[in-house]
Amino acid sequence: MSEATRWPETRVRHGAVATPHALASDAGLEILRAGGNAVDAAIAAAATLAVVSPHMNGVGGDNVWLIHDAVRGRLRALNAAGRSAAAADLEDYRARFGTSIPARGGAAALTVPGAVSGWWAAHRYSREVMTSPVAWATLLERAIGHARDGIDVSAGQRRVTAATPALFDARADDDVRRTLWPLYHPERFADGRLTQPALAATLSAVARGGADEFYRGPLGQRLAAGAAGVGSPLTVDDLAKHEAAWAEPLRLPYRGGEAASVPPPTQGFAALAILGLLEGFDLASLDDADLVHLTVEATKLAFEDRDRWLTDPDVVDVPVAVALDRERLTERRRLISRRAARRVDGPPAAGDTVAVMTADHAGNAVSMIQSLYHEFGAGVVAGETGVLLQNRGAFFSLDPTHPNRLAPRKRTATTLIPSMYLVGGRPRFVYGTMGGEGQPQTQAALVARLVDRGLGPQAAVEAPRWLFGRTWGEPTKALRLESRFDDAVAERLRERGHQVQVVEPWSDLMGHAQAIALDTDGLRAGSDPRADGAAKGW
């Protein structure tokens, strides 16, 4: 495949940042230049994204991390996803809403916002273990400034805002529209600027008081009161009990190295299972139709296990070892036909997120995903804090027999899967994407192109992509292909039984991927032209 790209690849020696918004990449780069490491840069980029990409993520959302500490040769996972409110009751929600939790409104805002706890835990590790000289408040300076002084509204935010008119109807009476309208109504974009003074004040308080201010201080009390005001079951006690949790990453051998992701309640094991199934095929020699077909068929098998088992492992056992057992993957690989598509049933997962990738010259690396779940989350703001609450809790099932059923103090299954590919225990590629159902699929495409086909990060990110099932909340079992694929690819896939739909050449449906390669002589970074981002470094 060609290395020709729409955007130039970033080649640097000292440090690299790839995010879906140029201002966030700038924030991370500034920290690297000031002597910070990859973890510091990721925090600054993530905090900035919470301000400049409010349609995709925010202070009221969650994040999940993979962090490689080069000095100690240690890879760690950090899960900052919030648990459900102690008052979240399955039978109450079933009586009120029937078979599913509404996607918007206070009832959907039933999980603790974990993003700030993730930033704080990562900072503590960087400061105390990796001996970074960068202070906490410094990491939030760019984010605070952009919230206070305003930003030019990005093309991506304009697209999403235009596609969700029900959230911005000022004439409506319900909390979703009424609370969101003052912050993000499209009329405010007429001059191209978006200011968020309440959010600037919130971030300033967090800069002074750290995570304790957000979860256990006066700000936390205001957040809880604001959440209650829009019908959320979250309380001061729910916020006070929240902590981000470190975990052991999942690993799976692949092509002489190992792919790594994060454990449940994320779908990381499904992403790894796809690679385990594909390792039995010579992906480097396949044409595009064969590559897409085999990856889709592997995805179907991996998603069967995910949808059967994925939930909070603190509440229900998730048999990850079974899902990633090499002998079982070999057996299940025999279910993949080279000539015909398998039928698949079951509801897919959705989600809108941002991916942040950072690396530095010492070999430290971060893959981080941050999310509100749906675009603009629950669509409600917690009082006068400027914090847009996530609707991650809407992913809980109201089926009493489902492993991901709603329960108090429980983390829901989540689509967030930061990932890395390591060789000899050191990161070779750091990669991730937004896109819910599309995240494992895009990651498989990236690994196939980076590892099997030898493309650089920018070329791998830009190459035409596909999506089986839905993303951004669109219920479908179709196989969408970007129109940059040759017409013959679509026809050959239709002949195998796939329900093919050809979409625009650079489609938001395919997610916004970022990738960094850690070479022996420097760093190469790629950012997705489907987003508003940039790969930057020095």
3-state secondary structure 267-291: CHHHHHHHHHHHCCCCHHHCCHHHH
Q: Is 353 a catalytic residue?
A: yes
Q: 345 near 355, Cβ under 8 Å?
A: no
CA distance 269 to 351: 18
Q: Which of 19, 164, 353, 412 is catalytic?
A: 353
From the list 197, 210, 292, 240, the residue with the least C-alpha distance to 492 is: 292
Q: 23 near 534, Cβ under 8 Å?
A: no
Tell how far CA 292 is from the center of its chain. Answer: 23
At 221 the three-state DSSP class reads helix
What value, to the nearest 5°, has the Cα angle with vertex 291 and ends 10 and 508? 55
From the list 396, 391, 440, the residue with the least C-alpha distance to 415 is: 440
Phi/psi-derived region of residue 409, left when phi > 0, alpha when psi is between -120 and 50, beta in every other case: left
From the list 423, 429, 467, 426, the residue with the least C-alpha distance to 447 is: 429
What would the two tokens of residue 32 be? 């690297």
Sheet (strand 74-79) strand order? 245-247, 74-79, 62-69, 365-373, 352-360, 15-19, 534-537
CA distance 98 to 151: 41
Enumerate the active-site residues: 353
